[in-house]
Amino acid sequence: MHYTAHPTAVIDEGCQIGEGTTIWHFSHVMPGSVIGKQCNLGQNVVVSPKVVLGNNVKVQNNVSIYTGVICEDDVFLGPSMVFTNVINPRSAIVRKHQYQTTLVKKGASIGANATVICGNTIGQYALIGAGAVITKDIAPYALVVGNPAKQIGWVSQYGHRLQFNKNGLAQCPESGQQYQLQNNSVQLIA
Protein backbone atom coordinates (compact mmCIF):
# COMPACT_ATOMS: atom_id res chain seq x y z
CA MET A 1 0.00 0.00 0.00
CA HIS A 2 1.52 3.32 -1.10
CA TYR A 3 -0.91 5.50 0.89
CA THR A 4 -1.79 5.72 4.60
CA ALA A 5 -5.29 5.11 5.95
CA HIS A 6 -6.47 5.11 9.55
CA PRO A 7 -7.89 1.71 10.64
CA THR A 8 -11.39 3.23 10.93
CA ALA A 9 -11.36 4.46 7.30
CA VAL A 10 -13.29 2.43 4.73
CA ILE A 11 -11.51 2.09 1.40
CA ASP A 12 -13.67 0.27 -1.15
CA GLU A 13 -12.17 -1.88 -3.88
CA GLY A 14 -12.04 -0.27 -7.30
CA CYS A 15 -10.81 3.18 -6.29
CA GLN A 16 -7.42 4.66 -7.13
CA ILE A 17 -5.36 6.37 -4.43
CA GLY A 18 -2.05 8.05 -5.21
CA GLU A 19 1.26 7.63 -3.46
CA GLY A 20 1.76 9.57 -0.23
CA THR A 21 -1.95 10.26 0.33
CA THR A 22 -3.24 10.14 3.92
CA ILE A 23 -6.82 9.25 4.85
CA TRP A 24 -7.92 9.91 8.43
CA HIS A 25 -10.52 8.60 10.90
CA PHE A 26 -14.00 7.48 9.78
CA SER A 27 -13.52 8.48 6.14
CA HIS A 28 -15.00 6.51 3.22
CA VAL A 29 -13.52 6.29 -0.28
CA MET A 30 -15.97 4.67 -2.71
CA PRO A 31 -15.32 2.59 -5.84
CA GLY A 32 -14.57 4.40 -9.08
CA SER A 33 -13.10 7.44 -7.34
CA VAL A 34 -9.62 8.69 -8.19
CA ILE A 35 -7.44 10.43 -5.60
CA GLY A 36 -4.06 11.83 -6.64
CA LYS A 37 -0.68 11.82 -4.94
CA GLN A 38 0.10 13.58 -1.63
CA CYS A 39 -3.56 14.31 -0.80
CA ASN A 40 -4.85 14.63 2.74
CA LEU A 41 -8.41 13.59 3.61
CA GLY A 42 -9.39 14.66 7.12
CA GLN A 43 -11.72 12.96 9.55
CA ASN A 44 -15.23 11.97 8.39
CA VAL A 45 -14.66 12.66 4.67
CA VAL A 46 -16.72 10.87 2.00
CA VAL A 47 -15.43 10.53 -1.57
CA SER A 48 -18.25 9.25 -3.79
CA PRO A 49 -17.94 7.16 -6.97
CA LYS A 50 -16.38 8.86 -10.00
CA VAL A 51 -15.05 11.82 -7.98
CA VAL A 52 -11.63 12.95 -9.18
CA LEU A 53 -9.13 14.66 -6.87
CA GLY A 54 -5.82 15.85 -8.33
CA ASN A 55 -2.47 15.84 -6.58
CA ASN A 56 -1.93 17.63 -3.25
CA VAL A 57 -5.64 18.20 -2.58
CA LYS A 58 -6.36 18.99 1.07
CA VAL A 59 -9.83 17.99 2.31
CA GLN A 60 -10.60 19.10 5.86
CA ASN A 61 -12.93 17.33 8.31
CA ASN A 62 -16.60 16.59 7.58
CA VAL A 63 -16.59 17.14 3.79
CA SER A 64 -18.63 14.96 1.43
CA ILE A 65 -17.44 15.08 -2.17
CA TYR A 66 -20.27 13.80 -4.34
CA THR A 67 -20.30 12.21 -7.78
CA GLY A 68 -19.79 14.93 -10.38
CA VAL A 69 -17.08 16.84 -8.49
CA ILE A 70 -13.62 17.23 -10.02
CA CYS A 71 -10.87 18.99 -8.08
CA GLU A 72 -7.63 19.78 -9.88
CA ASP A 73 -4.18 19.87 -8.21
CA ASP A 74 -3.53 21.92 -5.05
CA VAL A 75 -7.21 22.50 -4.17
CA PHE A 76 -8.12 23.21 -0.52
CA LEU A 77 -11.58 22.20 0.77
CA GLY A 78 -12.27 23.78 4.17
CA PRO A 79 -13.95 22.13 7.16
CA SER A 80 -17.60 21.16 6.64
CA MET A 81 -17.89 22.80 3.22
CA VAL A 82 -20.64 21.32 1.04
CA PHE A 83 -20.96 20.20 -2.57
CA THR A 84 -24.27 19.39 -4.24
CA ASN A 85 -24.77 17.35 -7.40
CA VAL A 86 -28.47 17.72 -8.30
CA ILE A 87 -30.22 21.09 -8.75
CA ASN A 88 -33.69 19.99 -7.61
CA PRO A 89 -33.39 16.91 -5.36
CA ARG A 90 -36.50 15.06 -4.20
CA SER A 91 -36.51 12.02 -1.96
CA ALA A 92 -39.24 10.28 -3.99
CA ILE A 93 -37.72 11.02 -7.43
CA VAL A 94 -34.51 9.33 -8.56
CA ARG A 95 -32.26 11.82 -10.34
CA LYS A 96 -28.94 9.94 -10.38
CA HIS A 97 -28.78 10.42 -14.16
CA GLN A 98 -28.98 14.19 -13.67
CA TYR A 99 -25.78 14.69 -11.67
CA GLN A 100 -24.05 17.89 -12.76
CA THR A 101 -20.32 18.43 -13.01
CA THR A 102 -18.65 20.84 -10.61
CA LEU A 103 -15.07 21.75 -11.43
CA VAL A 104 -12.66 23.27 -8.92
CA LYS A 105 -9.59 24.47 -10.81
CA LYS A 106 -5.95 24.29 -9.74
CA GLY A 107 -5.01 26.06 -6.52
CA ALA A 108 -8.52 27.22 -5.57
CA SER A 109 -9.49 27.32 -1.88
CA ILE A 110 -13.00 26.94 -0.47
CA GLY A 111 -13.55 28.16 3.08
CA ALA A 112 -15.21 26.44 6.02
CA ASN A 113 -18.97 25.87 5.75
CA ALA A 114 -19.17 27.22 2.19
CA THR A 115 -21.68 25.62 -0.19
CA VAL A 116 -21.04 25.01 -3.88
CA ILE A 117 -24.18 24.54 -5.97
CA CYS A 118 -23.52 21.94 -8.66
CA GLY A 119 -22.78 22.74 -12.28
CA ASN A 120 -20.39 25.61 -11.55
CA THR A 121 -16.67 26.08 -12.13
CA ILE A 122 -14.40 27.72 -9.57
CA GLY A 123 -11.46 29.31 -11.38
CA GLN A 124 -7.83 28.65 -10.61
CA TYR A 125 -6.51 30.20 -7.39
CA ALA A 126 -9.93 31.65 -6.52
CA LEU A 127 -10.57 32.11 -2.79
CA ILE A 128 -14.08 31.33 -1.51
CA GLY A 129 -14.77 32.85 1.90
CA ALA A 130 -16.13 30.86 4.84
CA GLY A 131 -19.88 30.36 4.63
CA ALA A 132 -20.17 31.62 1.04
CA VAL A 133 -22.79 30.09 -1.26
CA ILE A 134 -21.55 29.62 -4.84
CA THR A 135 -24.41 29.90 -7.35
CA LYS A 136 -22.44 30.72 -10.53
CA ASP A 137 -18.99 30.32 -12.10
CA ILE A 138 -16.15 32.06 -10.27
CA ALA A 139 -13.30 33.75 -12.15
CA PRO A 140 -9.66 32.77 -11.67
CA TYR A 141 -8.03 34.66 -8.75
CA ALA A 142 -11.43 36.00 -7.59
CA LEU A 143 -12.13 36.64 -3.91
CA VAL A 144 -15.80 35.92 -3.17
CA VAL A 145 -17.87 36.04 0.03
CA GLY A 146 -21.50 35.97 1.15
CA ASN A 147 -24.83 34.38 0.29
CA PRO A 148 -25.16 34.39 -2.64
CA ALA A 149 -21.42 34.82 -3.12
CA LYS A 150 -20.28 38.16 -4.53
CA GLN A 151 -16.82 39.02 -5.75
CA ILE A 152 -15.13 41.62 -3.55
CA GLY A 153 -11.62 41.55 -4.99
CA TRP A 154 -8.76 39.51 -6.33
CA VAL A 155 -6.11 37.33 -4.70
CA SER A 156 -2.65 36.07 -5.59
CA GLN A 157 -1.65 32.43 -5.91
CA TYR A 158 -0.52 32.75 -2.27
CA GLY A 159 -4.00 33.88 -1.19
CA HIS A 160 -3.22 37.55 -0.50
CA ARG A 161 -5.62 40.28 -1.56
CA LEU A 162 -4.22 42.19 -4.51
CA GLN A 163 -4.21 45.98 -4.63
CA PHE A 164 -4.02 47.13 -8.25
CA ASN A 165 -2.51 50.51 -9.18
CA LYS A 166 -3.87 52.88 -11.88
CA ASN A 167 -2.03 50.82 -14.51
CA GLY A 168 -3.79 47.64 -13.40
CA LEU A 169 -0.68 46.14 -11.80
CA ALA A 170 -0.34 44.49 -8.39
CA GLN A 171 2.30 42.55 -6.47
CA CYS A 172 1.79 39.70 -4.04
CA PRO A 173 3.34 40.79 -0.71
CA GLU A 174 4.55 37.26 0.07
CA SER A 175 5.83 35.89 -3.26
CA GLY A 176 6.63 39.11 -5.12
CA GLN A 177 4.69 37.77 -8.12
CA GLN A 178 3.28 40.45 -10.44
CA TYR A 179 -0.34 40.44 -11.64
CA GLN A 180 -2.25 42.45 -14.22
CA LEU A 181 -5.94 43.32 -14.13
CA GLN A 182 -7.36 43.90 -17.58
CA ASN A 183 -10.95 43.56 -18.84
CA ASN A 184 -12.10 42.26 -15.44
CA SER A 185 -9.60 39.40 -15.62
CA VAL A 186 -6.38 38.82 -13.65
CA GLN A 187 -3.25 37.30 -15.16
CA LEU A 188 0.07 36.38 -13.54
CA ILE A 189 2.76 38.25 -15.50
CA ALA A 190 5.98 37.60 -13.57
User: What CA–CA distance (Å, rounded) separates 33 from 54?
Assistant: 11
Please name which of 51, 53, 11, 8 lies closest in space to residue 35, comparing C-alpha atoms. Answer: 53
Domain that holds residue 116: 4-162
For the chain, the straight-line distance linking the first and the last C-alpha, in angstroms and rounded, comes to 40
Residue 169 lies in a domain: no
Residue 95 lies in a domain: yes
Q: With beta carbons less than 8 A apart as the criterion, state whether 188 and 172 touch.
A: no
**CATH number of the domain within which 105 lies:** 2.160.10.10
Total count of domains within the chain: 1
Task: Evaluate the omega torsion of the peptide bond into residue 140 and state whether it is cis, within 30 degrees of 0.
Answer: no
Share of the chain above pLDDT 70, in %: 99
Digit-coded pLDDT (tens) for 4-27:
999 999 999 999 999 999 999 999
User: What CA–CA distance (Å, rounded) separates 105 from 124?
Assistant: 5
Count Cβ atoms within 10 A of the Cβ of residue 116 and give its class: 0-12 exposed, 13-18 middle, 19 or more buried.
Answer: buried
Residue 186 lies in a domain: no
Digit-coded pLDDT (tens) for 41-91:
999 999 999 999 999 999 999 999 999 999 999 999 999 999 999 999 999
Residue 168 lies in a domain: no
Residue 90 lies in a domain: yes
Residue 111 lies in a domain: yes
Q: Please tell me the pTM assigned to this model.
A: 0.97
Count Cβ atoms within 10 A of the Cβ of residue 98 and give its class: 0-12 exposed, 13-18 middle, 19 or more buried.
Answer: middle
Q: With beta carbons less than 8 A apart as the criterion, state whether 43 and 61 touch.
A: yes
Residue 56 lies in a domain: yes
